[in-house]
Amino acid sequence: MRRKTLALLLAVAVHIPAFAATVTYTYTGAAQSFVVPAGVTSVTIEAWGAQGGINTAGITNNLGGYATGALPVTPGSTLYVYVGGQPVGVAGGFNGGGAGDTGGAGGGGASDVRQGGSALADRVLVAAGGGGGGFWSGLDVVGGVGGGLTGGDGYRAPDYATNPGGRGATQTAGGADGTCISFNVTALAGSLGQGGTPLGQNCGCQGYGGGGGLYGGAGSGNCRGGGGGSSSVSLVTGGSTQAGARAGNGEVRITYDVAAAPVAVPTLNQWALLMIGVVLAGISVLRLRRQRRGGGR
């Protein structure tokens, strides 16, 4: 009994398992930041690019892409977070959406996380934006979805083969081949981090911008949708992407494990242990005396 009592008194801590904490970033139209907490050496990132702009309510054919993966980090360092915006009208969406032209719609902005700086070259994960889309003369103008590793192609109904618009971006280049009556297709191509635009190219009919991304999708005139941007997970661990996963503005979530501090149990100093020893010794002496008295009878 004495040994069990002493063991309980000497217990010093109770272990509590770690738990996950998530920080969610929504669209603000400006760069945001995440400072890595003490003790954290890895985070999991989820990002959704913005849907492309639309000129008619209810259009959902040009959704933004999704990307996720784990990233090694250093406590106290800063990650820079950019959340893509779905544009209103012909303006391009925040973070790389290409502008549209009269009557059309701009491309959606990409969502990304940057490490070591805030330049495009510092991006470690990118979720692409969708190309601009809408409706014209009873026909759907389809903006390409944000990738995926490759963005979707834009077109006007019934299909790309009949009425091609802006091409989706890839892992190595912006989308190309946007349609324009002036045939100045080079100006419509997407580029690193930026969707292409038909703005000012005299393309005719409505103009639609390309979505932002690792590379941006191509813009297009002639009432044909812009291409979607490409997503990127090449610099994270266990990365994956999904095309056409987000309506409206983009979003970024950063999740990390929080190691809960042990709950301390008061420890006993030497004097307290000495007093316990004296008490236990006294109890033993009393018990011995009682045994001797009982034996003497």
pLDDT 10s digits, 119-173: 999 999 999 999 999 999 999 999 999 999 999 999 999 999 999 999 999 999 9
Which pLDDT belongs to residue 102?
92
pLDDT category of residue 261 using cuts at 50, 70 and 90: low
Q: Give the mean pLDDT of 250-258.
A: 98
Reply yes or no on whether the pLDDT at 256 is more than 90. yes
Per the prediction, the chain carries an average pLDDT of 89
pLDDT 10s digits, 31-54: 999 999 999 999 999 999 999 999
pLDDT 10s digits, 211-240: 999 999 999 999 999 999 999 999 999 999
Q: Give the mean pLDDT of 190-195.
A: 98
Which pLDDT belongs to residue 8?
42
pLDDT category of residue 19 using cuts at 50, 70 and 90: confident
Reply yes or no on whether the pLDDT at 293 is more than 80. no
Reply yes or no on whether the pLDDT at 177 is more than 90. no
pLDDT category of residue 179 using cuts at 50, 70 and 90: confident
Burial 41-50 (b: 16+ CB within 10 A, else e): eebbbbbbbb
Which pLDDT belongs to residue 264?
59
DSSP secondary structure string, 262-281? Answer: PEE-PPP-HHHHHHHHHHHH
The count of C-alpha atoms lying within 13 angstroms of the C-alpha of 18, restricted to the half-sphere facing its C-beta, is 9
221 contact partners, CB below 8 Å, separation of at least 6: 101, 178, 179, 180, 181, 188, 198, 201, 203, 204, 205, 206, 207, 208
Which pLDDT belongs to residue 294?
64
Q: Give the mean pLDDT of 63-87.
A: 99
Asked if 114 contacts 174 with a C-beta cutoff of 8 angstroms, the reply is no
193 contact partners, CB below 8 Å, separation of at least 6: 96, 110, 120, 123, 212, 213, 214, 215, 216
Residue 289: strand, helix, or coil: helix
Domain range summary for the chain, segments of one domain joined by +: 18-263, 266-296
Which pLDDT belongs to residue 1?
45
| Burial class of residue 286, CB neighbours in 10 A (0-12, 13-18, 19+) | exposed
Structure tokens at 19: 């738990």
